Amino acid sequence: MKNALSILCILLFESSQATSIALKILYLIGLWRLLEKSGLKGWWALIPGARDYQLARCAGRAAEGRVFSLAGVASILLNLIMFFVELQQDYATSSGIPSLLLIAMIALIMLAIVRFIYTIRIWSGMIDVYGVKKRWIWLCMLEYTMWIPAVVWGFHKHFQPGWQVEDIRAEMARLASSGSTAVIGDGLTVNLNDRTVTEFFQKKTLLRDIHMSIPQGHMVLLLGGSGAGKTTYLNAINGYEKAHAEVMLNGSNMYTQYKKMQYEVGFVPQSEMMRGKDTVLNTLLDAAKLRLPKGVTAKQRRERVNEVMDIFGLKPVRSNLVEKLSGGQKKRLSISMEFISNPSLFILDEPDSGLDGVMARELFEQLRKIADTGKIVIVITHTPDRVIDLFDDVIVLAKDSARTGRLAFYGSIDEARKFFKRERMEQIVKSVNRKEEGGDGLADDFVMKYAEVQHG
């Protein structure tokens, strides 16, 4: 009798394992078809980790897919660790092995919880994409029933996704502004085709089709919502992050002649990088050693430092410690450090951050004077309307349906107001921001409109 029970238990266990494998195969077959219906390669279904992320893309939940995928890969690795630890447990003398198994088991439980939560989120997205009833989620929650929606939606002609992943790329490719801007001898010319990175098994385009020429002596406002690619664009211009682009400054190529051109560009980041215990004078002398060419003498460096302190009104505090300066003085010192090299192109990322209206106005008036000497000044600021009268032009970047930074406008301030039919710059940013970000969701419309204007 005992032998019969043992045999029955073994058969039940083996049957359960066979059933689990069969259901897994059915799920993968269904997932293959789901991926194909969404315009992706079906064979992604065979790759652990990657298939989770691709499913999330189909659901329009790429951000959740990254967490879902990483949790899956981590679970696989932990199971492998536990397997090898258990193999060696009989031979080990270390008391640390049981503790390691316990930690691994707790981690697996936590990962299982994470996976369960993100499974619900991603399949909820799939329900929205396929336009089916919400009650389908009950079948999507369990591993033993998940194959049902995968197979049914994947193979039944009645079930079709509301959009395809590749449709977005094709549509935005249609909106691409082809061609390039003619290079100007005195000024900045940017012909940026794209800036891409590889992220989670796919090539992601951060920026695309940005072409413009900025004459010398212009002060330019750079606008765009969060994720539109403003910083990426500036990094591409100054050569810090090279793109598939040609960037020409006063007839010289920023990428092929970078060593020569590094003194022609000044970049002031939002964060201030200064030692609090140094004086203003020593801070600028150190900056001069770094930013001026090696052939410049000590006397010439000191003369240039005195000239810059005079321009930015820092002579009265030349002996003061940096930590004792006011917020406005620190901003001016930070800008002075980059202006030491007398750059032809001056880029500033939120120079008015933390300043009140009066101090910000004074700072921007100083930048206006710098532009009037024949320099190109490009500025990012989140409060543009209080100083908009000081700018010549505005660049508007927008994040399109494919989550790619695109050029929605470049031109004068008055032209921008007519183009967007909005008076304030903050209203322009709101118009191109996505609806889930509190915007009007008109990025694609303005990208296409600007492309048509340029080539019409």
Mean pLDDT over all residues of the chain? 83
Mean pLDDT of 294-298: 84
Q: Look up the domain containing 222 and give its range.
A: 171-264+343-455
Q: Is residue 194 part of a domain?
A: yes
**Amino acid at residue number 157:** K
Q: Is residue 443 part of a domain?
A: yes
Band of the pLDDT at 356, cuts 50, 70, 90?
A: confident
Residues 6 or more apart whose CB falls under 8 angstroms from that of 27 comprise 146, 147, 150, 151
Sheet containing 376-380, strands listed edge to edge, beginning at the edge strand earlier in sequence: 252-253, 244-249, 187-199, 202-215, 405-412, 393-399, 219-224, 376-380, 345-349, 265-268
* Same domain for 217 and 158: no
Q: Is residue 413 part of a domain?
A: yes
Q: Is residue 310 part of a domain?
A: no
Q: Is residue 304 part of a domain?
A: no
Alpha-carbon distance values, 22 to 19, 26, 76, 143, 407 (Å): 5, 6, 20, 12, 50
CA atoms of 445 and 391, how far apart (whole Å): 25
Q: Is residue 307 part of a domain?
A: no
* Same domain for 110 and 15: yes
Question: Interhelix angle for 280-291 vs 298-311, to 10°?
Answer: 120
Q: Is residue 77 part of a domain?
A: yes
* Same domain for 177 and 62: no
Give the per-residue pLDDT at 2. Answer: 46
* Same domain for 108 and 44: yes
Give the per-residue pLDDT at 362. Answer: 87
Give the per-residue pLDDT at 390. Answer: 94
Q: Which letter does DSSP use for residue 75 in this model?
A: H
Give the per-residue pLDDT at 16. Answer: 64
Q: Which of 162, 184, 206 is the last residue of a domain?
A: 162
* Same domain for 238 and 117: no
* Same domain for 257 and 237: yes
* Same domain for 16 and 76: yes
* Same domain for 253 and 108: no
* Same domain for 379 and 240: yes
Q: Taking the complete model, does pTM exceed 0.85, yes or no?
A: no
| Count of domains forming the chain | 2
Query: Which one has a higher pLDDT value, 79 or 270?
Result: 79
Supply the CATH number for residue 244's domain: 3.40.50.300
Band of the pLDDT at 166, cuts 50, 70, 90?
A: low
* Same domain for 39 and 114: yes
Radius of gyration of the chain (CA): 29
* Same domain for 227 and 94: no
Q: How many CB atoms lie within 10 A of CB 92?
A: 12
* Same domain for 198 and 149: no
Query: Which one has a higher pLDDT value, 188 or 49?
Result: 188
Q: Is the pLDDT of residue 372 over 80?
A: yes
Band of the pLDDT at 140, cuts 50, 70, 90?
A: confident
